[in-house]
Structures are given as structure tokens and as C-alpha cells.
Structure 1
């Protein structure tokens, strides 16, 4: 699968560089440009080479939502993740109306930032760029992926750091391949039982699929693949 191409837009060069660095730490994403004004952002967006914009709303020449509005008016399929300190309800409502995919308040941690990108990547994988959706539950699952956090209400005994390791290991796999609990344990340095607990948690959340793996005589092994 091709990397998701990201444009970082922020009027503060140091903050823009931090967001670029954060983005490039997340597997599956690559930064194709950095802009400090709405004008420069639109110039990059007109190339059609951007999948996702990390958009600051307080730009020196135009409000960031005007960039989002221009994208929609042009029929662009580029998605927008608002990265801003704007907390007023009116701005949030306008962002929703313009189809802003996520709204991330500054300041934030890398974990929160990565969570947004991970959910966006799963959303894109669940809704392909063309074709038809087979059933309502597929649409519901895609929208739920954007709304709910994978780290919300972790079962007792599970922690976010290990969950991040598990998710990263699964996302690094080639397409249509998976890992057994034992294989995952070897990769992230945990016991097989621990690895299975995290995999089962992800399976129950709809983030991985359980696949029976046949090959050796006896009971088939369970393989877990990204959904």
C-alpha cells in the first residue's frame, strides 16, 4: 500500500517542523510539503498530490477553514485534519460542516497525534477509493474508526505502550499477511499469552481479523491480520 501523502500547514516554522517530524514517525505516512500560508498551501494542493492536510486554522493571510472550503468547492478528495488552538464552538461547527476529518487541539502529545493518524489510515483502508460498499455495517465500522479511540477504556492489564508496539508490528506487515500470537510475541518481546490478549482486544474492536492458518497436522493456528 502506498504511503498517505501529507501536507503540513502552520504559520510557525518551528511548529510546522515538529508536525512534519511527528508525521514521519508514523508508519504509512510521508510529508510531501510544508506551507506557512494559505496561499502556499493552495499552491501545493492544486497539484493533486496530497491525501491529507494537517491544517492550522490561524494563518496570516486567510482562515484555515477557507482553505478547507476551497477544497470542497473544487471537488477535491483531499481530507483535512485541523490542528489548532481554536476552541470556539462556531469554528468547530464550521469544521464539521466542511467535512474536516479530525480536530486536534494544541498543545498535544505525540501519542494523541499518532492516534489521529492511525485512525485515519484505518478509515482509508476500510473505504477504498472506488467501487461499492457491500453492506451498512462496513460504512458504520469506517465511521466508528474515526470517532472512537483505540486507547479508550483499555481492559485491565493492557497498556497503551504495548498496544502501540502491537499495532506497529501489524501495520508493518505486507498486504494480506498476519501474525500468530507466538510470532507477535517474538517481535515485541512479550509472552505468547500477553500477545494474544492484545490481539484479542484488537479483534473485538474490529481492528484485526482472526484467520485460521492451516499447514501442519493438528489444530489450526489463529492468525491475526489488520482489518
Structure 2
């Protein structure tokens, strides 16, 4: 996966749509398209611009977002005040990848977007997926980052994470050198940390044109 992921926000409140667009643009690797406020406009943009992800409200002036969801051949996360269990179940049953209940803050949406980016990256790793990769991708969408304690980390995994100072991005070889382990071992632990949401992955293109993965601590 390379380049920025384009995100369309569909919300009947213009000011809320602009606010959420600002949240999206603040997350590295994502770019918000101009928000739209109706199902008709959403369909026009999806068919014309082909966004990677739609952030969809339930309550729209010309249709329910849950009905529009049937017609969108694109990844969708619901952003809505509809908090009843029937709406949540229907959205997930119709293919929504996530559900975020309003009001929420920028950090909550950023975590959803970073999880989505990890999901996309994992699915793009191989032309044909094995079950382990698929499970990791599905887990990446819902890493359990709601504030509770995470899984226990080994001493080596903790050392790998602590080798990444805030604000910097290192290659697997650089991390391996800092920790005193092989590059392959560092790569394995970095991938696991990325799946859990503790580490973000960036692509840097060198003089050969081949991308290099760089790893940095995910913002909290």
C-alpha cells in the first residue's frame, strides 16, 4: 500500500463534516475529500473519485445511511449518533468495517484510521492470503485499544518498542542494531507491534525507487 488513503465524509451537518475532515487530515497517510451532506452526493463522489474509505452518518436528508451502505462498493466506517443495537447490528451485517458513536474526539477517530491502514497493509502483503495473514488483518481492525490493558509483551518485544523514540522512524535494521538482535527478529516483533497498534509503518522511497518500511511509535 502506498500513497495517501482518500477518505470521504458523509454527514448532514456541514460543520461536523468539516471538523471530521480536519481530524482525518491530521492522521499521516490519510487525506479527506471535501465532505458531502446527502446520499445522492455521496454516490456521485464514490463513483467519480473512488475514495478508499467512506465515513458515513446514519441520518441523512434524502436516505438513511444504513440504506446507502447497501449501494457503496467501498470500505465504510459508520460515524453516527445512532447508538441503538439494531442500527449497529444492521451496519455490521451490511458490511461496515467499524462503528464510532458520536460524540468522539480526534484521538478516537485517529485510532480507527490507523487500524484501517494496518488492515489494508496486511491484506496487500501477499497476492494470495493464508489464514494467519487474514486473521492478523481482521484483528488489526479491532485491536482492543479502548484503554484497557493490552496483551503481555515479552522482554524482547518491549525492548524493540522502547528502541523507537517518539517522533522518529527507523528501519528494521536500525532497530535490530539498537536492541542487539537480528534484522529478521526485529522485523517479526515490529510487525506484531504494528498489528497491535503500538507501532505505525511508513514507506520511504530511496534512490532505487524501492520502498523501505520505517517504524515509529504510534501516537497515543
Report if TM-score (shorter chain) is over 0.5: yes
Contact residue 57 and residue 80 of structure 2 kept, 8 A: yes
**CA distance in 2 between partners of 1:179 and 1:110 (Å):** 33
From the superposition, tell whether residues 117 and 127 of structure 1 become closer, same or farther in structure 2 (CA, over 3 Å). same
From the superposition, tell whether residues 28 and 90 of structure 1 become closer, same or farther in structure 2 (CA, over 3 Å). same
Q: Does 1:139 align with 2:140?
A: no
| 3-state SS in 1 of match to 2:33 | strand
- Alpha-carbon shift at residue 204 of structure 1 (Å): 5.0
**CA distance in 1 between partners of 2:77 and 2:52 (Å):** 11
Q: 2:113 aligns with which of 99, 107, 117?
A: 117
**CA distance in 1 between partners of 2:18 and 2:189 (Å):** 35
| 3-state SS in 1 of match to 2:108 | helix
- RMSD over aligned Cα atoms: 3.5
- Alpha-carbon shift at residue 49 of structure 1 (Å): 2.0
Q: Report 1:8-19 matches (<5 A).
A: 8-19=9-20
| 3-state SS in 1 of match to 2:34 | strand
Partner of 2:91: 95
- Alpha-carbon shift at residue 32 of structure 1 (Å): 2.2
Partner of 2:36: 35
Q: Does 1:80 align with 2:76?
A: yes
Unmatched runs of 5 consecutive residues or more in structure 1: 157-161, 185-191, 193-198, 210-222
Partner of 1:44: 45
Contact residue 33 and residue 44 of structure 1 kept, 8 A: no
Summarize deviations over 1:119-152 as a string: whole Å, max 9, x none. 000000000298211x211111011111223464
Partner of 2:184: none
**CA distance in 1 between partners of 2:64 and 2:167 (Å):** 35
Contact residue 172 and residue 190 of structure 2 kept, 8 A: no
Summarize deviations over 1:75-116 as a string: whole Å, max 9, x none. x2x100100010111111111111101100101121111100
From the superposition, tell whether residues 166 and 45 of structure 1 become closer, same or farther in structure 2 (CA, over 3 Å). farther
Partner of 2:61: 60
**CA distance in 2 between partners of 1:70 and 1:148 (Å):** 28
From the superposition, tell whether residues 111 and 201 of structure 1 become closer, same or farther in structure 2 (CA, over 3 Å). farther
Unmatched runs of 5 consecutive residues or more in structure 2: 154-160, 180-186, 201-212
- Alpha-carbon shift at residue 182 of structure 1 (Å): 9.8
- Alpha-carbon shift at residue 225 of structure 1 (Å): 4.5
Partner of 1:4: 5
From the superposition, tell whether residues 203 and 46 of structure 1 become closer, same or farther in structure 2 (CA, over 3 Å). closer
**CA distance in 2 between partners of 1:118 and 1:9 (Å):** 20
